[in-house]
């Protein structure tokens, strides 16, 4: 299992809200990310779609979903200064660039209110095109 970590100056409730709500996800992850009955309909900037199932959610602490056939687990731990240490774990990860890209976009969105996506339909959601 692969793990990636990032620190947020924002508290766990802000980070969790970005991961767990359609409005939050659409600010950094997907063009659309509506949810019904525990299924998130992801529409990515490059046109790919996925129906991701929320497997477990614990308010401000833990969020696990199936995303493009892999299980993605976000663990949030508050720090002593009111921020959040987030760990993303993915058992099926072969290339971490999508994971790192997502975490950087999440941090930019939550901590700074910035959308790092390029909004160019001809490019992937990742920072570096292969």
- Per-domain boundaries in the chain: 2-112
User: Does residue 19 register a pLDDT over 50?
Assistant: yes
Identify the pLDDT of residue 45: 80
DSSP 3-state assignment of 100?
helix
CATH topology of domain 2-112: Alpha-D-Glucose-1,6-Bisphosphate; Chain A, domain 4 (3.30.530)
Burial class (CB in 10 A: 0-12, 13-18, 19+), 105: buried
For the chain, give the mean pLDDT: 90
Identify which has the larger pLDDT, 109 or 118: 109
Residue 80 CA to residue 115 CA, distance in Å, equals 27
DSSP 3-state assignment of 49?
strand
Residues 6+ positions from 77 with CB-CB distance below 8 Å: 12, 61, 84, 85, 86, 87
Mean pLDDT of 28-50: 93
Identify which has the larger pLDDT, 76 or 46: 76
DSSP 53-89: EEEEEETTTEEEEEETTEEEEEEEEE-TTS-EEEEEE
Q: Which tokens in the block code for residue 86?
A: 């987030």
User: Does residue 93 register a pLDDT over 70?
Assistant: no
User: Does residue 51 register a pLDDT over 90?
Assistant: yes
Going by the DSSP 8-state scheme, the letter that residue 91 receives in this structure is T
Identify the pLDDT of residue 129: 43
Q: What pTM was estimated for this model as a whole? A: 0.89
Q: Which tokens in the block code for residue 22?
A: 């359609």
The residue to which tokens 């993605």 are assigned: 72
């Amino acid at each position: 299992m692969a793990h990636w970590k990032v620190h947020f100056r924002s508290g766990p409730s802000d980070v969790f809200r970005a991961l767990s709500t359609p409005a939050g996800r659409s600010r950094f992850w997907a063009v659309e990310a509506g949810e019904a009955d525990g299924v998130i309909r992801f529409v990515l900037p490059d046109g790919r779609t996925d129906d991701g199932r929320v497997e477990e959610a614990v308010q401000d602490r833990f969020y696990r979903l199936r995303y493009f056939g892999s299980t993605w687990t976000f663990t949030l731990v508050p720090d002593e200064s009111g921020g959040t240490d987030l760990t993303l774990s993915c058992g099926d990860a072969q290339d971490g660039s999508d994971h790192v890209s997502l975490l950087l976009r999440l941090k930019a969105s939550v901590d700074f209110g910035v959308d790092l996506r390029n909004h160019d339909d001809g490019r992937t959601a990742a920072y570096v095109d292969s």
